[in-house]
Amino acid sequence: MATRAAAGAAVTGAAVVALLSAGFALYGPPLDAVLERAFWLNKAHSIKDMETTFQLVRNIIPPLTTKKHKGQDGRIGVVGGCQEYTGAPYFAAISALKVGADLSHVFCTREAAPVIKSYSPELIVHPVLDSPNAVQDVGKWLPRLHALVVGPGLGRDHVLLSTVKGILEVSRARDVPVIIDADGLWLIAQQPALIQGYQKAVLTPNHMEFSRLSEAVLGDPVDSSDPQEAVLRLSQALGNVTVVRKGERDVISDGKQVLECSQEGSSRRCGGQGDLLSGSLGVLVHWALLAGPEKTNGFSPLLVAAFGACSLTRQCSRQAFQKHGRSTTTTDMIAEVGPAFTSLFET
Ligand SMILES: NC(=O)C1=CN([C@@H]2O[C@H](COP(=O)(O)OP(=O)(O)OC[C@H]3O[C@@H](n4cnc5c(N)ncnc54)[C@H](OP(=O)(O)O)[C@@H]3O)[C@@H](O)[C@H]2O)[C@@H](O)CC1
Ligand SMILES: Nc1ncnc2c1ncn2[C@@H]1O[C@H](COP(=O)(O)OP(=O)(O)OP(=O)(O)O)[C@@H](O)[C@H]1O
Ligand SMILES: [Mg+2]
């Protein structure tokens, strides 16, 4: 893990490119200087405006054709769901399907399974997470999964977290992309080595989860005056793991560049919106990695995927709020995934 001093030095030398709704804005030095540094440091192409970035997301979306078979557009797994929380894994898994995955699996505890199944016949639900062979039970599905979303509704039971540790180790060994959210981030704050340097990991912390992670990894409280630098530093300290810090504006970094998504959302803060984001991101990460850096103009595919998931979640929130106002819930947002996706990426 990078030391605090090393992380600080790296921040100073990194290219910081921030994305705003009106176009890309740059934090720190003037535009030309930062773009020059971007080329100098990592030979990355620079994204110049919002439309260009949306175009990169559009580039990674696989065409709908009659030539494909079931599964090719995504088989996503969600690890989470326990006695207390059944909604969160449902929201994540159904969002993956609504974005365009073909199959969505949930790996949860035995007693959560019938509840989650009853929400939707479209999900494949495995009641294995609290079984004695849980790691093997999930592990045998891994070769058939394109991405794993770890944490929504997982809870913080020690035995379950130790099982999830094993699942993360096997996933990493098999090169399966992982999106870590909610209680999965609780585990990472305790054992950052689990994802240290793993280039196919994306962390999606909310405000609280980001503070917890930063304190655990960097050892000091978050500098709230500079959210972009805080995210950049955390990503660098974790060995360029992609970090998506959710909030009034979503800040995304792979330790080299920083994007900011301020797509208009809504003022409604009902629970479950982050689950919609992490499930969507599971599919977009798969599509982005499949498309490769040629389609993302040299930018990290994971950054482009994260920008896509953030803008989509916020657009769902905006559209649902226009219809339902204060009574908007995450279920209303999920009903907007299709129209929001079309309006952002298919028009
Ligand atoms: N329907 C379901 O099944 C759902 C289940 N879910 C599942 O619940 C589990 C726990 O997840 P979590 O996010 O509630 O846990 P955690 O990190 O302890 O944060 C809670 C604390 O953080 C604080 N806080 C939060 N935001 C803040 C902010 N912007 N600014 C400041 N403070 C802020 C806030 O503090 P408070 O306001 O209470 O003082 C609160 O106490 C996890 O498995 C998740 O997936 C959810 O997905 C929802 C839908
Ligand atoms: N203050 C805000 N203004 C506008 N959008 C926000 C705000 N805070 C969060 N969001 C958006 O809401 C979505 C979920 O972020 P949030 O911080 O609520 O996640 P979370 O706490 O993990 O949610 P969950 O309840 O699913 O666990 C993200 O798309 C984020 O952009
Ligand atoms: Mg959450």
Q: Which atom of ligand 2 is nearest to the CA of 313?
A: 29
Give the binding-site residues of ligand 1, using a 6 Å CB cut-off.
85, 87-88, 152-155, 182-183, 206-209, 271-272, 274-275
Exposure letters 120-131 (e unless 16+ CB within 10 A, then b)? eeebebbbbbbe
- Residue 42 annotated as binding site: no
State in Å, rounded, how far the first CA of the chain is from the last one: 43
Whether the CB-CB separation of 334 and 270 falls below 8 Å is answered with no
According to the model, what pLDDT value does residue 273 have? 98
Instruction: Name the one residue in this structure whose structure tokens are 């620079």.
Output: 46
- Say what the pTM is: 0.90
If DSSP codes are grouped into helix, strand and coil, which group holds residue 253? strand
- Residue 279 annotated as binding site: no
Q: Are strands 147-150 and 178-180 parallel, antiparallel or unpaired?
A: parallel
C-alpha closest to that of 316 among 260, 258, 288, 274 = 274
Instruction: Name the one residue in this structure whose structure tokens are 């540094």.
Output: 37
Quickly state the pLDDT bin for 50 (edges 50, 70, 90). low
Quickly state the pLDDT bin for 28 (edges 50, 70, 90). very low
Mean pLDDT of 48-65: 87
Protein residues placing their CB within 5 Å of the ion ligand 3: 182, 274
- Residue 268 annotated as binding site: yes
Cα(202) to ligand 2 centroid in Å equals: 16
Q: Token pair of 272, please?
A: 């479950």
Q: Token pair of 289, please?
A: 């990695």
Q: Whose CA is nearest to atom 14 of ligand 2?
A: 274
Examine the pLDDT at 13 and tell me if it is beyond 80.
no
User: What pLDDT digit, counting tens, does each position of 280-320 carry?
Assistant: 999 999 999 999 989 999 899 999 999 999 999 999 999 99
Q: Which residue type does 232 have?
A: L
Q: Whose CA is nearest to atom 12 of ligand 1?
A: 182
